[in-house]
Structure 1
């Protein structure tokens, strides 16, 4: 959590602001841990920075043709994106 989600430094000297920053970092870590369960096997063990480069850093182009939107991207990225989207559709949230 320290390195990947900004938990290593505190933004200011105010205790309440630092507590809020820490809670936001903890929330993002927990959401990432939940998202990691949906990733394909080869990506599930990587750190957040690697996944950020692999998933969020994909180069794609959104094209509008007629009344439809298409996302154009490389074949290797398309396969990874399809795996993640299939896992998202099949995901059932845990009971509260």
Structure 2
């Protein structure tokens, strides 16, 4: 599974990062949305930046897991809480780090 390098993601929005990673992993919007319990339209809105607020941390963690992302800052490099804690997907300490 090809992972985007940091230069592919630099300066991108959360939605753009999700779309780049999703397409690089070869997953359709329908598949990813279904795996996180959301609609394809919702995921399209996330990717296109049409939501008023970005997805909450728990949803970003689910998306990261489905997309095979190991470090959540690949999706959300701008969040101050993530910049401090460098949350690793699947890390049992993530709840303590994000509290």
**TM-score, reference length from structure 2:** 0.23
**TM-score, reference length from structure 1:** 0.23
Structure (1 or 2) with the larger CA radius of gyration? 1
The structure in which a higher percent of residues are strand is: 1
